[in-house]
Chains A and B, each alone.
Chain A
């Protein structure tokens, strides 16, 4: 996995605004890309995933965009709420070759009231 040290990139966002979290992935053979949310003292919580043959997928208040050309993944959160404050990780895997996840560096999101 990647080493990002103790100082995670931080995104500060005003409550009600939209948040965009970015992630660069490394393996062009990956077939699934997943976003997890991790609150302090808890395990990662699944948010949404996208298969490599798609470029956009929407969930409840979240949208994931995949750009395979530049190996870039983003998570958009609409109308960010205080409960969205957490660390967000992207992950990738090749499910047909085993299901182990490779996580990227996290981004800390702080929602200001």
Chain B
């Protein structure tokens, strides 16, 4: 079956611009996660959704970052007034559940590489 998909695969923008990154989770998965990965490092948690609501947004670095999941499926990560330090690979993952069982395994998409010039 189809895995997690993310668009665009690459995004180049200028400092100060607004960007949107999209994630399509695995069909039927109720939980969706965003992570950010800098070169040579492991992914760092940003935010996760249970259904339509953000259950934990403690990883968002500042108020320039915002994410939505209005219908409980597709999610969009929005970054305002981009800065060069925002350059990274943004990864999305989804899981079937989140209740503390084996169904919580997170499956990742290929990521969006964001470059802020």
Hey, which bits of chain A sit against chain B, CB under 8 A?
1-8, 31-32, 34, 36, 41-46, 49, 89, 91, 93, 95-96, 98-106
Interface centre among A8, A42, A44, A99 (most CB of B within 10 A): A99
Residues of A within 8 A of B107 (CB): 46
Please provide the chain B residues from 87 to 117 with a CB less than 8 Å away from any CB of chain A in the complex: 91, 93, 95, 98-102, 104-111
- Whether the Cβ atoms of A4 and B40 lie closer than 8 Å is yes
A43 engages B110 (CB within 8 Å): yes
A103 and B110 contact, CB distance less than 8 A: no
Given known pairs A43-B108, A43-B110, A95-B100, the reply for A103 and B44 (CB within 8 Å) is yes
Contacts of A8 in B (CB 8 A): 40
A72 to B14, CA, bound (A): 43
Q: How far apart are the CA atoms of A45 and B110 in the complex, in Å?
A: 10
Contacts of A32 in B (CB 8 A): 104
Please name the residue on chain A nearest to B111 by beta carbon: A43
Pull 18 A–B residue pairs with CB atoms less than 8 Å apart, ordered by A. Answer: A1-B42, A1-B45, A4-B41, A6-B39, A8-B40, A43-B4, A43-B93, A43-B111, A44-B91, A49-B102, A93-B104, A95-B100, A99-B95, A99-B106, A100-B45, A100-B48, A101-B35, A103-B42
Closest to B105 in A: A46
